């Protein structure tokens, strides 16, 4: 069997959970089948690599249209170049709406079964209009078209499955829940601080950690607003880069400035750090905070748990399927406004509730240690990439047999 993965993110150009997912799924699948990856960027196959890899860039800049539309037109351009190479795989598996046009063209032109993994859903991310403008209407259309014509749709949580059922015309036979995973050999607690000493905080003092992009979805503004309620002796480390828009970056900067007025222990790391640095950040944190207002799964919580760090997270999307309330961390209820679901109904209360949960764990070393051990065990027991690859392979076999 040959599998073709089409993705906008692939190493070394990974900035989100979807990219992490494809990286590890492809690696494990390469032990079970022939794997080809076509992605956005300048990637090329390494010598003796089991995975055939090719990156594709847009041929044009589309400089006569708005910045958001430039991104959309470059996406379509890349997708056409990707399938223009021809498709000889038995299954095409697409990740995120960016690659859906390529998947549609592959299915219709080459007659190949199409699998789509929903890492997030465009109708539930209306803030993307800030970034894409009218291109958001295109992303809505192409995602809906691909999901409703795919031979199989993989959702990364039961919560996301329910969202797909609500938003799209997809029968149960084509829906499959397969969780995200974690490499427990790579993500594990380390004593090393070699990569994080340069950031200026003392890693020997337990701190609250956030890791993620500066976007509405990740809810970082709510955590920044919560800092004033967090014990002033507890350092706060915000590892946050790649802002969606200049406006949200400015909002973030203003929030951090205000939070730092009465305390000197707020540290903002404005870069997307490498994996060794990331693991050190998780390993020395007292609590990892995930204040997302939309999160179909949340690989970052798995990463923190694998590094033996308890999690305080919002109880949205697939997060409650990962973080066990009172066992591996604390879940915080988030009431969302019906007309704008990406906004908290009571943002100040949500920020206060986040801080209360953080303070409760940071003041109880014994409880944190207990949750740390439980989190590591849960990751090892439930979220193995080998198991996830095997489940995905069985789905591929079903589609090929049906064809």
pLDDT digits (tens, 9 = 90+) for 278-292: 999 999 999 999 999
Percent of the chain with pLDDT strictly greater than 70: 98
Q: In the Cβ-directed half-sphere of 339, how many Cα atoms lie within 13 Å?
A: 0
**Residue spans of beta strands (DSSP E) within 132-177:** 152-155, 175-177
At 314 the pLDDT is: 96
Asked whether the predicted pLDDT for residue 213 surpasses 70, the reply is yes
209's enclosing H/E stretch is: strand 208-213
In Å, what is the CA distance from 243 to each residue of 57, 102, 248, 258, 272?
22, 26, 7, 19, 11
The angle at the Cα of 19, spanning 17 to 25, to the nearest 5 degrees, equals 100
Question: How sure is the predictor about 49, in pLDDT bands with cuts at 50, 70 and 90?
Answer: confident
Inter-CA distances, 123 with 75, 127, 136, Å: 19, 10, 9
φ, ψ for residue 314, nearest 5 deg: -70, 145
The CA distance from 159 to 314, in Å, is 14
Residue with tokens 């427990």: 184
User: Token pair of 63, please?
Assistant: 């400089």
The pLDDT value given to residue 335 = 82
Mean pLDDT of the chain: 93
Lowest mean pLDDT, pick from 22-31, 126-135, 220-229: 126-135
Quick one: pLDDT band at residue 132, thresholds 50, 70, 90? confident
Sign of CA dihedral 366, 367, 369, 373: positive
What sign results for the dihedral spanned by CA atoms 316, 322, 324, 327? Answer: negative
Q: pLDDT tens digits, residue range 359-395?
A: 999 999 999 999 999 999 999 989 989 889 999 999 9
Distances (CA, A) of 107 to 86, 252, 253: 12, 42, 45
| Residue 102 confidence (pLDDT) above 80 | yes
| In the predicted structure, residue 121 carries a pLDDT above the cut 70 | yes
Confidence band of 90 (pLDDT split at 50, 70, 90): very high
101: left (phi over 0), alpha (psi -120 to 50) or beta: alpha
Average pLDDT score over residue span 299-315? 96
pLDDT average, residue stretch 323-343: 84
Residue 336 pLDDT greater than 80, yes or no: no
Give yes or no for residue 341 having a pLDDT over 70. no
Average pLDDT on 163-181 reads: 95
Band the pLDDT of 344: cuts 50, 70, 90: confident
pLDDT band at 339 (very low <50, low <70, confident <90, very high): low
Residue with tokens 């992009």: 213
| Domains of the chain with CATH codes | 2-181+384-402 (3.40.50.2000), 197-382 (3.40.50.2000)
Q: What is the pLDDT of residue 48?
A: 65
Give the span between the Cα atoms of 380 and 306, in whole angstroms.
8
How large is the average pLDDT for residues 327-356?
Answer: 85
CA R_g for the chain? 21
């Amino acid at each position: 069997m040959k599998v073709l993965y089409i993705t906008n993110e692939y190493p070394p150009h990974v900035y989100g959970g979807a990219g992490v997912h494809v990286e590890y799924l492809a690696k494990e699948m390469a032990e079970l089948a022939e794997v080809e990856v076509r992605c956005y960027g300048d990637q090329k196959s390494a010598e003796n690599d089991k995975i055939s890899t090719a990156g594709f860039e847009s041929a044009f800049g589309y400089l006569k249209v708005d910045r958001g539309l430039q991104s959309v037109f470059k996406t379509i351009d890349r997708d056409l170049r990707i399938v223009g190479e021809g498709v000889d795989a038995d299954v095409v598996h697409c990740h995120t709406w960016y690659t859906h046009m390529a998947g549609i063209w592959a299915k219709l032109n080459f007659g190949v079964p199409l699998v789509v993994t929903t890492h997030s859903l465009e109708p539930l991310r209306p803030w993307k209009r800030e970034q894409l403008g009218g291109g958001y209407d295109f992303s809505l259309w192409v995602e809906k078209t691909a999901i409703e014509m795919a031979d199989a749709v993989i959702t990364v949580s039961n919560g996301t499955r329910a969202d797909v059922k609500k938003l799209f015309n997809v029968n149960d036979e084509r829906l499959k829940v397969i969780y995200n995973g974690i490499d427990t050999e790579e993500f594990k607690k380390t004593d090393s601080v070699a990569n994080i000493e340069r950031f200026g905080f003392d890693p020997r003092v337990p701190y609250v950690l956030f890791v993620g992009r500066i976007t509405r979805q990740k809810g970082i503004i709510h955590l920044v607003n919560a800092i004033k309620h967090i014990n002033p002796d507890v350092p706060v480390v915000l590892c946050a880069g790649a802002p969606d828009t200049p406006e949200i970056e400015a909002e973030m900067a203003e929030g951090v400035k205000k939070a730092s007025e009465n305390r000197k222990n707020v540290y903002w790391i404005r870069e997307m750090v490498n994996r060794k640095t990331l693991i050190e950040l998780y390993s020395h944190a007292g609590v990892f905070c995930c204040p997302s207002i939309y999160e179909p799964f949340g690989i970052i919580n798995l990463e923190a748990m694998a590094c033996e760090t308890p999690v305080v997270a919002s109880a949205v999307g697939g997060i409650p399927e990962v973080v066990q309330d009172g066992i591996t961390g604390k879940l915080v209820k988030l009431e969302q406004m019906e007309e704008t679901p990406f906004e908290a109904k009571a943002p100040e209360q949500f920020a206060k509730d986040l801080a209360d949960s953080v303070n409760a764990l940071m003041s109880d070393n014994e409880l944190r240690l207990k949750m740390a051990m439980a989190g590591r065990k849960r990751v090892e027991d439930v979220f193995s990439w080998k198991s996830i690859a095997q489940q995905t392979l069985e789905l591929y076999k079903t589609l090929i047999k049906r064809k």
